[in-house]
Chains A and B, each alone.
Chain A
Amino acid sequence: MINTKNKEESYLTVKHADFIPTCLALHKLCHSPVMLMFAEDKRETRSCYRLNTAFYASGKQHWYYVCLDFPAGDQDFPSLAKEIYSASLFEREIWEMFGIRPEGSPDLRKLRLHEEVWPENSFPLRKDFKAGEIAGSTGKDYSFIKGEGEGLFEVPVGPVHAGIIGPGHFRFSAAGEPIINLEIRLGFTHRGVEKMLEGKDLTSGVKISECVAGDSAFAHSWAFCQAAEKLLDISPSPKAILIRALFLELERLYNHVNDIGGIAMDVGFTFASAFASIMKENIQQLNASLSGSRFLKGINLIGGVSKNIAASQKDMLHAKLNSFSSDLDELEKILFENASFMNRVENTGILWKKTAEDIGIIGLAGRASGIAFDLRQFIEPYQGAGFTPITRDSGDVLARLNVRILESKQSLHLIAAFLEKIKTGDLSVTPFVPKEGFAAGAVEGWRGPVIYWLKLNSNGKIERCKIVDASFHNWEGLAYAVKGEIIPDFPLCNKSFDLSYPGNDL
């Protein structure tokens, strides 16, 4: 049964036996990894769990959801991870959060509810879960994949790292200098965001979405608002969309320049890094002067935006961005004219296109490996501004650096184009009336797509909200990129991806 929800989403309800073939067909036809996969606990109303698996057809700009209902007693669904690798992490997540088992899954280890602190048989995303009763642990340890052989040794790193950065554990298996395998254990910043959203109203939902990943606060809140707006059939004004796009590009700018500086820092090139940190500070101060927040929080509302870009601010914005633009040219020269810097970044941490496609890498890291996919290419106001995705084929640290530099320059052009178009108009539509339903929002944040799938109950409160940050797809890419590199190059490779811990851990 196919149910076309709105012009961008179709839901295909399938039988148990058709689940894998349908997913495989969509995977091949859409050339899409599993973009999101999540369960819903519908035992109260329909006495079943529902599994939703989404693929994105970029040609048609359409989301296809494969929906499988299975009765609450029969808590198994066929594992897709055996066929499509990008389903693997989602299945582990569903298993630990709902206690429904992907039958035949190659890997059922915990992602976020660590064995050391969380008991078995407590599944937070079930509707009958009671937080107060939880105590103790499974008493088990996490089992890392173990390399064996003469001279092979392990280097454990984290969760507390040497820099000012989120927590994660990296387990290197090395033979001499080169890394044979890297296993990344995350979940240390798990805060239970998806459960927290349940029962909240939409306005609180926007606030929470801004705290999922602080450096992508704007992309997250936009994706949340977009999902809610689709659900409620309201369209923000063209002016509101332009202002959102402008802030999204400012978010991209301060983060991209931060990473360009970070890459310089991780090869010990402090001059370039200090220079980039001044550039970042300038953009964040610009953010504060436009919106009152250095992290662009508090701008997105359901139905529009709360901050205007007044005609009187345009000249100031142009001047700041021109100044940033000439700084960026300087920064580029400082880096690219330095032979020892280039020596470190070129051919380091290569993620080949084939590998990237196989494991489902998306966003910036995907584009640096030659995957020309960017959600912005399909939407206004980007199409009107002549947007095309920027790609590189080499997949190394230099490619990811180049994509960042070129995207920053592109963002400057886009902002100028948006500024031209911002005229008078409403900032947001009049108060919304919540209603029952579901829809998804997707926004190309600076790391890649940020996707929110949102369902409201008959009281207009959040019934289920699934969040996927591009980091969730891309951490695995880092593990592949460092294979064969030496451990001292790991921080450099890591920074070139710069994935989010809290965005991944939720």
Chain B
Amino acid sequence: MSIFTIIKNRLAKGIVDIDLAGEIKQANILGRELRSVIDRKFKGSFNIRQVDTGSCGACLSEIIAAANPIYDLQRFGVNIVASPKHADALLVTGPVSRNMALALKKTYAATPGDKFVISIGDCALDGGIFKDSYYTLGGVDKVLKVDLHIPGCPPTPLVIIRYLLAFLRS
């Protein structure tokens, strides 16, 4: 099958087979604003390094989904980068397992300059369902000062985008 056949099939079928038009449109409106904020304040790109401190993995999956071709977070200038040294913000998931506290601090220390900490998911707020465990510290703010929290268990990709946009606009 040639690449042309594949593209032809996709065009015939459309990319998304569930109607997201309304929500995407909303994200687009917010996105245009965000684009200008990021262009102005962050020289064109806002880079995020993700750190997991013991989530069940659902939040991670939704962060990945926010960057998939449907939601396409990158088109607003938000990138998820491989190293904290390239990042403007840390995006932290999980209730902070004791085993991850040091790694989280070290990742924060490796992030340069003025940086934001964004916690995501109900566990990251206060430990969530794992609040009373002997092995969790009960939320990211027990270790680092948190600038933005994105609620949900897990938050959907659109919620993630909306919160990011609203935060950066402010």
Interface residues of A (CB under 8 A from B): 112-114, 116-118, 124, 129, 131, 134, 159-160, 162-167, 187-193, 195-196, 207-208, 211-215, 217, 258, 274, 277-278, 280-282, 284-286, 289, 294-295, 320, 323, 330, 333-334, 337, 500-502, 505
Contacts and interface: CB of A to CB of B under 8 A. Distances in A.
Interface in B134-160: 134-136, 154, 156
A164 B63 contact: yes
A379 B154 CA distance: 32
B61 A214 contact: yes
A500 B56 CA distance: 9
Interface of B: 1, 6, 9, 13, 15-18, 20, 50-65, 68-70, 80, 82-84, 94-95, 97-103, 107, 129-130, 132-136, 154, 156
A166 B63 CA distance: 13
A500 B83 CA distance: 22
Contacts of A333: 1
Contacts of B84: 160
Contact of A191 (B18, B58, B136): B136
A193 B130 CA distance: 8
Q: Sorted from nearest, which 9 A-B pairs have the closest CB atoms?
A: A214-B58, A214-B56, A131-B134, A162-B82, A192-B133, A189-B54, A214-B57, A277-B68, A192-B135
B58 A217 contact: yes
Contacts of B58: 214-215, 217, 295
B98 A114 contact: yes
B61 A215 contact: yes
Given A117-B101, A191-B95, A274-B68, A208 B129 contact: yes
Given A188-B97, A211-B129, A159 B134 contact: no
Nearest to B50: A164
Contact of B132 (A124, A196, A282, A505): A196
Nearest to A285: B18
12 contacts: A129-B134, A160-B103, A160-B107, A189-B94, A190-B54, A190-B99, A191-B54, A191-B95, A191-B97, A214-B55, A214-B58, A282-B17
Query: Which of the listed residues B51, B63, B80 has the most CB atoms from chain A within 10 Å of its own CB?
Result: B51
A280 B51 CA distance: 23
A117 B99 contact: yes
Contacts of A189: 52-55, 94, 97, 99-100
Contacts, number: 153
Given A278-B70, A285-B18, A196 B130 contact: yes
Contacts of B103: 159-160, 167, 188
A261 to B, nearest CB: 9
A273 to B, nearest CB: 10
A278 B68 contact: yes
A214 B59 contact: yes
A143 B107 CA distance: 23
Given A189-B55, A281-B65, 18 more contacts: A117-B98, A131-B133, A159-B103, A164-B60, A165-B52, A189-B94, A191-B97, A191-B135, A192-B133, A211-B129, A212-B56, A214-B57, A214-B58, A278-B69, A281-B16, A285-B20, A323-B17, A337-B1
A129 B133 CA distance: 12
Contacts of A337: 1
B53 A167 contact: yes
Nearest to B98: A117
